[in-house]
Amino acid sequence: MNPPTPSTITIDGPAASGKSTIGELLARHLDYLYFDTGVMYRAVTWAALYYGVPIDDEAAVTALAERLRIDVAPPNVDDGCDPVDGRDPVDGRQYTVLADGADVTWEIRTPAVNAHVSPVSAYPGVRRAMVAQQRRVAAGGRVVMVGRDIGTVVLPDADLKLYLDASVEERARRRWREVRARGEETDYDAVLGSMRRRDDIDSNREDSPLRVAADAIVLDTTDMSVEAVLAETERLVEGGGWTAE
């Protein structure tokens, strides 16, 4: 008899550790929903900057998070082209992110959002609002949910918990290459500095810091190709290398 397949899979880890690449591929392989929770915190941050809400005004940012409508839709850019391999053939997006109906898919990846997203996501009220929505999305099962606190806080009873890590230099290199591939100018040292600051805030905040869940399986992807990480995660999923309750 084949071992059962985990229905809720969480992938946590720092920025550019491979979570979203692996999460997307694993979800496609299993025909599960892929949900990247980072986009929610990014959408709130984008909206605060856009509407002129001061980032250090916790009450105002929290009120914004509570009322903002965030939708994550399939990756069709409004150009009539169907996705290829789950991605939009024109600009390569994995999904479309809408904030109050506006397409902010790329706006939430700017240096300004990178610089402010960690302080915004450290506010407990912002987290409460986002976590409630994340639990609703996961309630149906068959989901790969990616973030910082998914295995520890959002879905502590998940069937399989993975934690991806890599050296900060390697993660900065990956992010630098991604940004360059989109045709944008960027400086490696600036990317590295921004990543270090984000790691520091995400790991040291009081509410739901970035932590390895006690029952998570840790993969260090520093010297691993995407194919190797995917093969290892598929082996864990399908080989019963996890324990169902």
Listed ranges 38-46, 96-104, 213-221, 225-233: which one lies at the site for ligand C5P (CB under 6 A): 38-46
H/E stretch holding 20 reads helix 19-30
> For 52-187, where are the alpha helices, taking DSSP H only?
58-67, 111-121, 124-138, 168-181
- For ligand C5P, what does the binding mask look like between residues 136 and 175, x meaning CB under 6 A? -----------xxxx-------------------------
Any contact of residue 233 with ligand C5P (CB under 6 A)? no
Burial class (CB in 10 A: 0-12, 13-18, 19+), 59: exposed
The distance of closest approach from Cβ of residue 146 to ligand C5P in the complex, given in angstroms and rounded to an integer, is 7
What is the C-alpha separation between 54 and 48, in angstroms, rounded?
A: 7
Under rule CB under 6 A, residue 94 binds ligand C5P: no
CA distances from 236 to 134, 169, 217, 230 (A): 24, 27, 9, 10
- In Å, how far from its chain's centre is CA 216? 17
Considering the complex, what minimum distance in angstroms separates the CB of residue 148 from ligand C5P?
4
Q: What is the DSSP letter of 206?
A: S
Based on the shown chain and the rule CB under 6 A, indicate whether residue 198 belongs to the binding site for ligand C5P.
yes
Q: What gap in Å lies between CA 146 and CA 134, rounded to an integer?
A: 10
Nearest approach, Cβ of residue 147 and ligand C5P (Å): 3
Q: Which of residues 113-132 bind ligand C5P (CB under 6 A)?
A: 117-118, 121
Location of structure tokens 């149906």: 140
Minimum distance between the CB of residue 46 and ligand C5P, rounded to whole angstroms?
Answer: 11
Rg (CA), the chain: 17
Provide the phi-psi class of 178: left if phi over 0, else alpha when psi is between -120 and 50, else beta. alpha
Which lies closer to ligand C5P via its Cβ, residue 39 or residue 237?
39
Stretch that binds ligand C5P, among 37-45, 49-57, 63-71, 223-231 (CB under 6 A): 37-45
The CB-of-142 to ligand C5P minimum distance in angstroms stands at 19
Contacting positions for ligand C5P (CB under 6 A)? 15, 37-38, 41-42, 117-118, 121, 147-150, 198, 202
